[in-house]
Copies of this chain bind each other. A is one copy, B any other.
Amino acid sequence: MNFLEERIVRDGIVKPGNVLKVDSFLNHQMDIALLDEIGREFKRRFQGKPVTKVLTIESSGIAIAYPVAREFGVPLVFAKKSKSINIDGDMYVAEVESFTHRNKNQVIVSKKFLTKEDHVLIIDDFLANGCALQGLISIADDAGATVEGLGIAIEKGFQIGGKVIRNLGYQLESLAIVDAMDAETGAITFRSQEN
């Protein structure tokens, strides 16, 4: 097991309905040392990619993307989930369905911050059905930017998202891929990875 899988086993909680709670260290209370280590690991896995922007989606994605942007020395851009009166001018828009909140959001990125010169590394905390990632890929495509890869902290390997995105030909790196969870015993089965 890698450092993130070990942490999930130690502090993650499996709930009925295939819910994995990691809110004590990843997406409500955040362990900054762990997140910094996640940043270094993504730098290693995407070593040599000419990344110019890290792209994520609010909210918890921001805390994963921050150390990655830091490692690459590039700006972080986060997609917003609703139109704000403080955003003007043209923007890229994609529709995203949330598994967690069971609703649909428009996500937007200002056209000022993604262009065809950009090489984008897309980062998020969770991958399940892949709607959020597909929305971010769609926004990068609209900008004419190059998607250099996608980095996820925790992938639910028993849902379709990861397969879809890998089938599209992208380099998708998930630090922990959960293939099965048992809410009764709390057992978590990770997919073995070569990294």
In whole angstroms, how far apart are the Cα atoms of A181 and B78 in the complex?
A: 27
User: How many identical subunits does the complex contain?
Assistant: 2
- With a cutoff of 8 Å between Cβ atoms, the chain B residues found around residue A15 in the complex are 88
Chain A stretch 49-106: residues in CB contact (< 8 A) with chain B: 58-60, 62-63, 66-67, 69-70, 73-78, 80, 82, 84-88, 100-102
With known contacts A28-B113, A58-B59, A63-B66, A23–B87 Cβ distance under 8 A = yes
Query: A160 at the A/B interface (Cβ < 8 Å)?
Result: no
Assess the A32–B102 pair: CB atoms within 8 A.
no
Q: Interface on chain A toward B: helix, strand, loop, or mixed SS?
A: mixed
Query: A110 at the A/B interface (Cβ < 8 Å)?
Result: yes
Assess the B32–A66 pair: CB atoms within 8 A.
yes
- With a cutoff of 8 Å between Cβ atoms, the chain B residues found around residue A62 in the complex are 59-60, 62-63, 66
Assess the B80–A59 pair: CB atoms within 8 A.
yes
- With a cutoff of 8 Å between Cβ atoms, the chain B residues found around residue A31 in the complex are 75
In whole angstroms, how far apart are the Cα atoms of A74 and B31 in the complex?
A: 8
Assess the B86–A59 pair: CB atoms within 8 A.
no
Partner of A75, one of B32, B78, B87: B32
| Minimum distance in angstroms from A69 CB to a CB of chain B | 5
With known contacts A59-B58, A85-B100, A100-B86, A76–B24 Cβ distance under 8 A = no
Q: Which A residues are within 8 Å of any B CB, using their own CB?
A: 15, 19, 21, 23-24, 28-32, 35-36, 58-60, 62-63, 66-67, 69-70, 73-78, 80, 82, 84-88, 100-102, 109-110, 112-113
Closest 3 CB pairs of A and B: A58-B59, A59-B59, A29-B113
